[in-house]
A and B are shown apart, each in its own frame.
Chain A
């Protein structure tokens, strides 16, 4: 039996972490100014613009990461259907999967196998 990625939650977008900070946005703004060959722009104006643009940049980042994750999971989907199913959880029984996985580890360990 193959793996149901929808059940796994792999078909859906995952939560993305937000790593950007104010200083990161400020740096991005500065770099962009360098790229476009900007002249003298007051520090306060740069900061203000960075704060203004930051939310949109965050949205682009989050949606971009989600899209990328979806594409990657779509690529992996075919492969996953050929893998052993004992370690495969459904979204609802992740705990059960963990136990299966650990059992597998211990079994291998007992046999002195590839663990």
Chain B
């Protein structure tokens, strides 16, 4: 709860900085504030009274670990995105929008009432629509903002209609009351069936799972690289956490209604995301399709429908977010020198750029799920939680997907060592810090996977 207030306060500070003329410091203030928010979040661990404001939000340990993942990602993001906070007159607006989007994401992971979920999703989405178009002179950025906005508004319609159906049947927005309604022979269960499927459509759009993924590659490619990094980490983490809570807590007893549909969505996301990623020539698009396939893996935790799924989800989202932020940091730096983020821009950089090479290798191996990096244990925990009470079919599809993904992740590493080039990509201090933290986190989480797993 305190983290929510703190980050909102930081956002307001961003607006005030415009009036009171301390725009120069807002970047540093945001970083310090996020650090403080992380500390405050961990202080709330094992909170004896997790419910606030008439059960509107619920900060149990799962929610707190998701918030920690979001804030750590947010902090790393601020460090990597220093270049968009240059003095161009818009830096305070950008930092405000990013901080508010984190507020929305926190609402989405800590909600206990569907109204909070909806408001959280809207805050996050509206900030993202604007940030996607924040490079105003670029046509691609404008296109990406427009596409994201139109598709996002359409998906929100589905989500809202699903909420209306659930409310119509259960006469409550409260997650726990809906759960109680579901578990004892509910009246008007047909409304719930339709509502659950409509909600699944709306949320699957937000995590860009197949077949609701068509917006993702275009939006990711057009938006500024830093914003793409934010979209593929924070948005996905928050949406999957909201998805997990709603489906396992509220609709957990009606698993039979949604498990088949979600299984197909997960299998298609893993396969189609990975296969199309193989054919991409642009690293940003490749990462977009890889994000689609990761959405498929994340859905396994929801399909598992048990507590281990939630633990696996926090581990996986942290591993995925850290590796993705590292990858985007490298892409942003290379693209700013070479002018494009195609695979060919990376050729020959392996000779002279040690930090870039190591972070590309670590993050790509982690994303592909190769031991001993964090991504491997993420996938391992997801699969074991799913196998606790399900058959192995979907896990086999997941493994096939991972095998395909090795091809395109390694293509980037191979490209680093192809050809001769003595070019040195200059890295700013903050970029170096991000890459080093990301490498340490990815390796440490891989070597000591139990730190995250033994918490509760």
Query: Do chains A and B stick together as partners?
Result: no
Residues of A within 8 A of B (CB): none
